[in-house]
Every structure is written in C-alpha cells, then in structure tokens.
Amino acid sequence: MAFTLSTTKTFTNINCSNTTSFKPLKLPLFWPWQKVKMGPLSVSPMGFGTWAWGNQLLWGYQTSMDYQLQQAFEMALENGINLFDTADSYGTGRLNGQSERLLGQFIKQSQALKGKQSEVVIATKFAAYPWRLTSGQFVNACSASLDRLQIDQLGIGQLHWSTANYAPLQELALWDGLVAMYEKGLVRAVGVSNYGPQQLVKIHDYLKTRGVPLCSAQVQFSLLSYGKDQQEIKRVCDELGIRLISYSPLGLGMLTGKYSSSELPTGPRSLLFGQILPGLDPLLVALREIAEKRGKTMPQVAINWCICKGTVPIPGIKSVRHVEDNLGAMGWRLTNDEQLQLEYAAQESPRSMIQNIFQTR
C-alpha cells in the first residue's frame, strides 16, 4: 500500500460528472510493516465494515449516499486501510448485495489503488440460508459475490453464522463449501462469524483434517460486549492461531458519546439504545475521561481498546468524517491501567449489548 499522504487526490463520483478533492491526513498513523497477520494475509490493524451500505431499515441508506461512501473508501485506502468487511446479505429488499456491488465499483474506480487492487483484502460473509443445503450451493454463493465485487479472488470467505443450533446437518455441508471454495482458489483464506468457543474448536479441527486453515473468527466484541463468552472465544482464537475480528466495536454507536437517554437515534436502534443507555454512565464517563486526557475522541478510545486486546476491529463507515475519526484510533495504545479502568467501568454498567441470535456456544 503506497503512503502518499501529502498529496491531494481527485476522483469522480460514480453517479455524477463533478470531481471532488480532499487532502488525506498529514501523517501516517501506522507504517506498512505494522500490518498484522491474518492467516496468509497481512492486514491493517483496523478494517472497516460496510453493513450500512445498502441497509435502509437500520442505517437509512439511500443511493444518493454512494458518492460520500466512495470518498470514505478512498480516504481509507490513502491512509493504509486494506481490510474491508461485507456480506452477500448486506442490503435490504431489492438492494440485497448492494454492499458488495458498491465495493466492487469503488475498487475498480479507485485512484489510490491504480492497478494494485490485489492489495485490498475483501472479507465477505455468506449467509447460511435454509436453501443453501450443499457445498456446491455455497460455492455458487461465493461465485456470485465475486461477480458483484468484480474481482477474481476473495481475501477471506466467511460463513456468516452457524446452523448448529437448528440445522446441524446443513452445518457440515456449509463447512464443506468453505473447503471447496478454498480448494478452487476462489478465496485466499476462510473464516467464520458468530461462532461460540465450542463450535469454533469443532470447525477448526474439521477444516484442519481437510487441509484448510481457519484464518479468522468474527464476533461482536467491544466494551459493551466483553463477557465470559467473548473472553473464552478470544482465548480459543489465541490458542489455535485464529485472528479475532471485532464487529460493532462501538456498540452500534452507543460508545460514541453522541447519544443519551434523551437523545436517541432514529429508527429501530432507538428501542435498544433506550434500554441500555440509562445504565451506561460509568462506562461513558470513563471513556470521556480518558479521551480528554489523551486528546482523543470517545470512539477512538473504544476502538483502541479492541486493538489493545489483540483483535482487528471493523467499525462501520458512511462518510469521510467517520474515516477521519476512526483512523485516530491507531498509532497509539492505551496503558494497562487505562484498559483496566474501562473494563471495570463496563462491569459497573448494568446492561450489556444484546448478542446476535445466531451466536453459538
């Protein structure tokens, strides 16, 4: 990844003929040799998630946002981010798959990459839909994602969730699907999402017998989601050499300091925020205190905590402002005392994040 941070880049809106210029951040926040290993891949210490790209219900997506999404993507590349997470189910209704389509367009049109598209690591997740009953159907899902992304090979192909709790026979077929897409060269590595520690060991051992290393495990991991299960998953990952990817490191926005009991977001998130925020004062106070002392923002502190725990966080981005703020989570580290202060404050907050309904044991 080239670091030409002092130059001004211009690129064209995918939907209009106007051009926009912006200046990337002046100093590199980390150097290329500070990438972290994720199986056979080298990735930035933080990636970005694209759940909001195409999601009208939860995140209010409109196609008019595509230009600012492209700006955000380009700025991320300019500042060394090379990991982008998506899924074939991202996008609501007729926009299903929109996240992958946008990423494909942005990669193809990127001035920051200029023929070096292979440096970008796209991690996409394949939904365990009930009609995907064979390994061949899972391979077909991978091929469809590659078409939307306009690339020949994925960085990481991930099983979006486990069916062990309700369709255990389907689970083995999906595992075989991961093996098949790896053997066919459609993905450089394979991973899972929403797997608990017990099921994570099972799939790791199964893939190992098939000669396929398990590269990553993506789980909800943050100061709002740091219970015994998350800590056990992290222990298993460390023991087996699996990189843990932290999704929702800002608790859907609750750890940003932007919201309160009297100022809730619009849409479905408001109900969840209304339940959790009233008891979150100890954690928010600790985040604000450390942020002020460090000259950082609350989101930067919350994301840096995830990095300090040895995970690769993937906060969602919808604008250049999001990218600029999230990039400030890198290039420094919380002290051990600060980490403990945050974890103690999290324990003092009576409510934690609701876990994904597909999360297994």
Active site residue 90: yes
Among the listed residues 61, 90, 195, 247, the single catalytic one is: 90
3-state secondary structure the chain: CCCCCCCCEEEECCCCCCEEEECCCCCCCCCHHHCEEECCEEECCCCEECCCCCCHHHHCCCHHHHHHHHHHHHHHHHCCCCEEEEECCCCCHHHCCHHHHHHHHHHHHCCCCCCCHHHCEEEEEECCCCCCCCHHHHHHHHHHHHHHHCCCCEEEEEECCCCCCCCHHHHHHHHHHHHHHHHCCCEEEEEEECCCHHHHHHHHHHHHHCCCCEEEEEEECECCECCHHHHHHHHHHHHHCCEEEEECCCHHHCCCCCCECCECCCCCHHHHHHHHHHHCHHHHHHHHHHHHHHCCCHHHHHHHHHHHCCCEECCECCCHHHHHHHHCCCCCCCCHHHHHHHHHHHHHCCCCCCCCCCCCC
**Residues annotated as part of the active site:** 90
